[in-house]
Structure 1
Amino acid sequence: MTTDGGRTQRTLRVRVVLAYGLVLLGLLALIISTPFVLAIVAPASADWGKLSDISQAYGAVSVLLSAIALAGVALSLIYQVRQARTSSEQAIRDSHLQLATLALSDPDLLQAWSPPVAPVSLKRHQQHLITSLALGELLQRFRIGHLSAEKLAVKLDGHFRGEIAREQWEREGSGWRATMGAGDRRDRVFVRLVDEQYQVAIAAGPARAAGAWVRDGSTRRRD
């Protein structure tokens, strides 16, 4: 279903492209009409050699203006393509989140989800799924530029402090590598950074046990 936000974005993109197109057409019309305008307004005694020199100089400027206008249209189209891709990725992400929420709400439905790579308890499988969704959220933010590589490393440092996150990556990391390896450059950078921070966390010492995050029935804040 198309949302109002999606329609608004498409309308804005169309208006931007039309605006650039009109500017380009106006510049082309001005360039083409220049000789005719000169022929009409120039007096009969005008030095056409001098006017020719002026016209040539103006022609160079007009070419530069046309090039700038074309570059503006090209940049606008590139921006629109990126925006469309981001919107599509977000829609896919939202759909995936809805399916995950549905699966987590019912153990019977969770069995229809991709099975774990190795036998694991239902609770642990749910925890791994949540951890995988957390990584997916970081991936989405990294793809659209909301997270730099440096900020992503900081997020992953906290992510891999817990044993569940480490378990999830140990079990499912190979699948992520295969999937991200078939993606674009940012996908490959993302999975490389995740691998690096996982190794850093392992070298730093044991993970914090899942039970250590909770005391007296209430969730404690992360350090």
Structure 2
Amino acid sequence: MVISGIALAGVAISLTLQEQQTKAARDERDRSTHRQMIYLTMGDRALAECLEPPNGPMPFERYRQIIFANLIMGRWYAAYQLGDVDDSTLRYTLERHFRGEIGRLHWEYGGHDWLRGAIGGNQRRAAAFAKIVKESYRAAVNAGPAIPAADYFISGGADLDPQNP
């Protein structure tokens, strides 16, 4: 009787783990499909017109930058949901991200919609992520103007080799 109870508990645990693995695989498949579609739209204006229109007219290049920033945010969200990134690392990453013009534009453009669409799965982690992003964005805005994208890089100079600074 005890052995059959232990065996039944083992089967239940095994089924639960299998369900979690199946959901994780399905979620990754969906994210991968989404990424592929976004990459295609970033290179083709006609395909980009199949997405939701921007909140206001903007150059296609700027729209591409905002879409790519959205992919970056999505990656951080997934890493946070999985526990691969902790609160302090997320805050540090967002602090640096929101120093720049494109990061802020992305959040101004679609932050509200992004959070509304992204929250799912582990609700507690999603709410914590949302709170950290909102706080980080607010802190960056309060710290002063964003660094303009045109000022990110210098021209004419030699590129720094990260292997040989």
Does 130-139 or 103-112 show the bigger shift? Answer: 103-112
Does 133-142 or 179-188 show the bigger shift? Answer: 179-188
Which structure carries more helix by proportion? 1
Query: For the residues of structure 2 that align with 1:176 and 1:112, how far apart are their CA atoms?
Result: 18
- TM-score when normalising by structure 2: 0.82
Query: For the residues of structure 2 that align with 1:112 and 1:149, how far apart are their CA atoms?
Result: 35
Runs of 4+, deviation exceeding 6 Å: 218-221
**1:74 maps to 2:6:** no
How many residues are treated as equivalent by the alignment?
159
Query: For the residues of structure 2 that align with 1:208 and 1:106, how far apart are their CA atoms?
Result: 28
Query: For the residues of structure 2 that align with 1:220 and 1:97, how far apart are their CA atoms?
Result: 30
Does 103-112 or 71-80 show the bigger shift? Answer: 71-80
- The match for 1:193 is 132
After superposition, the Cα gap between the structure-2 partners of 1:69 and 1:130, relative to the gap in structure 1 and judged at 3 Å, is same
Contact 1:86 1:144 in 2 (8 A): no
Does 100-109 or 180-189 show the bigger shift? Answer: 180-189
- For structure 1, list consecutive stretches of 5 or more residues without a partner in the other structure: 1-30, 32-62
- The match for 1:106 is 44
Give the Å deviation of 1:184: 3.9
SS at match of 2:104: helix
Mark the structure with the bigger radius of gyration: 1
Higher RCO (C-alpha 8 Å, min separation 6): 2
Contact 2:55 2:109 in 1 (8 A): yes
- TM-score when normalising by structure 1: 0.63
Contact 2:81 2:122 in 1 (8 A): no
- For structure 2, list consecutive stretches of 5 or more residues without a partner in the other structure: none
Match of 2:88 among 150, 157, 179: 150
- The match for 2:104 is 166
Q: Deviations over 1:146-178 (max 9, x none)?
A: 222232222212221111111110121110232
Identity level (%):
33
**1:127 maps to 2:65:** yes
Over aligned residues, Cα RMSD in angstroms?
A: 2.4
